[in-house]
């Protein structure tokens, strides 16, 4: 029996770390994905074969950056590759400095010898079902999604109060105080909203933000929150689709940088226009950016509330970029 | 954001955003003591606006009771602590899983910390057996501003 709504996706696994490789193979087998393990020049040949057999899209998973090879993959006709990079504490620092990072749509952290199952599955599901937008894909199935529309910059006060109360209210679910999470969540939402109201809108980019502004119907911002018992997802979607990949990649290395190193760099660069994005990156576990060019950009921040606020942002960070 | 004067101290509360207008509270120039204990959140435009007003009003601020939201900005935006700013005290939020107790530790300048000096600090445990009080913040990055600021 096959699901006619979803496409089949093959994966090429080019992973040096043996643990990760074994785990990936088993995981993909469990979800009926055709998996090819290849290394070196072999990947090019394998992808050529896939393309020849009519495969339109394939996932390429690796734990090293080989720009030359990735560029060769791109030249193979009639197949689109989704590149996914696995990083861990040992590889993070060298990887974040590599220019080749730009060639990956997805960067996921491994933790304690395990690949991040949940993020992998949600990435694959999106590609398979070709449904990308919405926070529901970033939390466990069935979690309730709160949906709102913002049509005036002054409504942000309501959004701040409501989200703060919402997260404070999760304290009894999590069995610990959630004040710090509430602060983080509100600050993240603020930056995403300001970005969607002003930065994304070509008409308002240069406008003085101290002046409250009413948005036209085609400029309104959609907001979603969802909590599944562990993850809090905050999604903000604009109607412009002006988000550029280089912008986000400029800051991406900070998402994966080791703490002290990133702090020093933040100090040096934060004074500029990127402060808002730095603030977001410092307060989240996963960042998912989906762009439908000239139509819509959705930025989702996921906060993992199952760990102490002290360590939560360091654990299992991930970044996903979908251009659809 | 609200600012209220009480016994010579300006108490700031709420969210510091782009609408932060320090011009409306009759602040004097020179040394001004702000209690930031009730600041809930700060956004990126709010920090910049705050710094602009401090410069415009020629204020030499003394900050006390700084919560996590403020300390995070001290560490990120060094201009926040320019103009000979002083930090008199700041908070460390902490929680003990065993006692289920939430606690705020207040660290004071000249007592628990000295500016320009790396701070090594250990949270004092409560009276109960098996107390495992743990801070909500990572000390290395949280204390960063202390080292980089002159006394
Ligand atoms: Zn205790």
Listing DSSP states for A274-299 in one string gives: THHHHHHHHT-SEEEEEEETTTEEEE
Residue A297 pLDDT > 80, yes or no? yes
The residue among A6 and A170 whose pLDDT is bigger is A170
Q: According to the model, what pLDDT value does residue A309 have?
A: 82
Q: What are the boundaries of each domain within chain B? A: 2-148
pLDDT at B140: 83
Is residue A61 pLDDT above 70, yes or no?
yes
pTM score, two decimals? Answer: 0.90
Candidates 3.30.750, 2.10.25, 2.40.128, 3.40.50; correct CATH number of B2-148? 3.30.750
The pLDDT of residue A2 is: 43
**Which pairs count as long-range contacts for A3-6, CB under 8 Å and 24+ apart, including other chains?**
A5/A129, A6/A128, A6/A129, A6/A130
Residues in chain A, total: 324
All structural domains of chain A? 10-129 (3.40.50.2300), 135-323 (3.30.565.10)
Q: Which residues surround ligand 1, an ion (CB under 5 A)?
A: B 96, 99, 126, 131, 133
Mean per-residue pLDDT, A69-80? 92
Note whether B43 contacts A278, CB cutoff 8 Å.
no
Q: Which of A196, A307, A180, A286 is nearest to A241 (CA)?
A: A196
Contact status, residue A223 vs residue A147, Cβ threshold 8 Å: yes
Residues 6+ apart with CB under 8 A from A51: A76, A77, A78, A79
pLDDT of residue A268: 60
Instruction: With H, G, I as helix, E, B as strand and everything else as coil, classify residue B63.
Output: strand
Nearest to B61 by CA among B87, B24, B38, B32: B32
**Given the DSSP bridges, would you call strands A57-62 and B86-87 parallel, antiparallel or unpaired?**
unpaired
Q: Are the beta carbons of B18 and A209 separated by less than 8 Å? A: yes
pLDDT at A178 over 90: yes
Distance between B138 CA and the closest CA of chain A, angstroms? 5
Each residue's pLDDT tens digit, A142-168: 999 999 999 999 999 999 999 999 999
| B24-56 tens-digit pLDDT | 899 999 999 999 999 999 999 999 999 999 999
Residue A4 confidence class, pLDDT cut points 50, 70, 90: very low
Q: For residue A101, what pLDDT band results from cuts at 50, 70 and 90?
A: confident
Lowest mean pLDDT among A69-78, A93-102, A208-217, B138-147: A93-102
8 A C-beta contact, residue B20 and residue B1: yes
Residue A38: CB atoms within 10 A of its CB come to 15
Name the pLDDT band for A317 (thresholds 50, 70, 90): confident
A306 falls in which pLDDT band (50, 70, 90)? confident
DSSP A29: H
CA-closest candidate to residue B46, choices A158, A265, A209: A209
Where chain B has pLDDT below 70, the residues are 150-151
pLDDT tier at A50 (50, 70, 90 boundaries)?
very high
Sheet holding B2-6, edge to edge: B2-6, B9-16, B30-42, B59-64, B86-87
Please tell me the distance from the alpha carbon of residue A227 to that of residue A35, in angstroms, as a whole number: 33
Structure tokens at A33: 């994905």
Contacts of B66 in chain A (CB under 8 A): none
Report chain A residues touching chain B, CB-CB < 8 A.
156-157, 160, 164, 176-177, 179-180, 183, 186-187, 190-191, 194, 209-210, 259-260, 263, 266-267, 270-271, 275-276, 278-279, 282, 308-311, 314
User: What would the pLDDT profile of A244-267 be if each residue is shown by its tens digit?
Assistant: 777 777 777 677 766 655 656 665
Between the CA atoms of B16, B21, B26 and B29, what dihedral angle is there, to the nearest 10 degrees?
80
Would you state the pLDDT for residue A1? Answer: 41
| pLDDT at res. A56 | 87
String of DSSP letters for A243-277: --HHHHHHHHHHHHS-HHHHHHHHHHHTTSTTHHH
Please give the pLDDT value at position A3.
Answer: 44
Alpha-carbon distance A36 to A46, whole Å?
Answer: 8
Rounded distance, CA A286 to CA A142, Å?
20
> Per-residue pLDDT for A20 more than 90?
yes
What's the A176 CA to ligand 1 centre distance in angstroms?
Answer: 13
Q: According to the per-residue pLDDT averaged within each range, which of A81-85, A181-185, A283-287, B96-100 is highest?
A: A181-185
pLDDT score for A249: 75
Whether A274 has a pLDDT exceeding 80, the answer reads no
The pLDDT, as a whole number, for residue B100 is 85
Give the pairing of strands B59-64 and A231-237. Answer: unpaired
Closest CA in chain A for residue B141: A260
**Averaged pLDDT of chain A:** 87
């Amino acid at each position: 029996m096959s699901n006619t709504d979803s496409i089949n996706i093959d994966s090429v696994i080019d992973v040096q770390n043996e643990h990760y490789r074994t785990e990936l193979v088993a995981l993909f087998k469990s979800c009926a994905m055709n998996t090819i393990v290849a290394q070196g020049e072999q990947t090019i040949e394998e992808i050529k074969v896939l393309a020849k057999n009519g495969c339109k899209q394939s996932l390429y998973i690796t734990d090293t950056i080989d720009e030359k090879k990735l560029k060769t993959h791109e030249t193979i006709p009639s197949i689109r590759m989704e590149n996914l990079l696995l990083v861990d504490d040992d590889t993070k620092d060298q990887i974040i400095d590599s220019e080749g990072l730009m060639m990956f749509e997805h960067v996921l952290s491994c933790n304690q010898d395990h690949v991040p199952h949940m993020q992998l599955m949600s990435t694959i599901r999106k590609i398979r079902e070709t449904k990308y937008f919405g926070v529901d894909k970033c939390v466990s199935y069935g979690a309730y999604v709160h949906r709102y529309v913002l049509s005036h910059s002054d409504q942000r006060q309501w959004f701040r109060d409501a989200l703060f109360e919402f997260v404070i209210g999760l304290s009894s679910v999590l069995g610990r105080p959630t004040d710090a999470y509430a602060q983080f969540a509100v600050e993240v939402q603020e930056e995403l909203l300001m970005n969607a109201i002003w930065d994304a809108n070509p008409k308002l980019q240069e406008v003085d933000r101290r002046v409250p502004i009413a948005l036209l119907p085609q400029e309104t911002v959609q907001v979603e929150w969802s909590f599944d018992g562990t993850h809090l997802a905050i999604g903000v979607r604009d109607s412009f689709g002006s988000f550029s990949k280089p912008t986000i990649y400029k800051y991406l290395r900070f998402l994966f940088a080791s703490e002290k190193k990133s702090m020093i760099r933040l100090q040096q660069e934060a004074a500029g226009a990127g402060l808002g994005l730095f603030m977001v990156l410092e307060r989240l576990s996963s960042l998912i950016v989906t762009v439908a060019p000239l139509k819509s950009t959705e930025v989702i921040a996921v906060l993992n509330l199952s760990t102490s606020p002290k360590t939560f942002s360091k654990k299992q960070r991930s970044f996903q970029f979908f251009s659809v | 954001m609200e600012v209220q004067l009480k016994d010579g101290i300006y108490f700031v509360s709420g969210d510091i955003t782009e609408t932060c207008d320090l011009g409306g509270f009759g602040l004097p120039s020179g040394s001004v003591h702000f209690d930031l204990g009730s600041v809930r959140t700060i956004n990126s435009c709010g920090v910049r606006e705050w710094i602009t007003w401090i410069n415009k009003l020629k204020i030499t601020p003394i900050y006390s009771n700084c919560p996590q939201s403020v300390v995070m900005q001290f560490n990120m935006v060094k201009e926040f602590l320019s103009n000979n700013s002083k930090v008199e005290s700041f908070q460390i939020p902490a929680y003990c899983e065993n006692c289920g107790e939430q606690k705020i530790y207040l660290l004071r300048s000249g007592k628990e910390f000295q500016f320009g000096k790396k701070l090594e600090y250990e949270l004092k445990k409560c009276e109960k057996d098996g107390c495992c009080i743990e801070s909500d913040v990572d000390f290395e990055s949280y204390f960063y501003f202390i080292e980089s600021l002159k006394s």
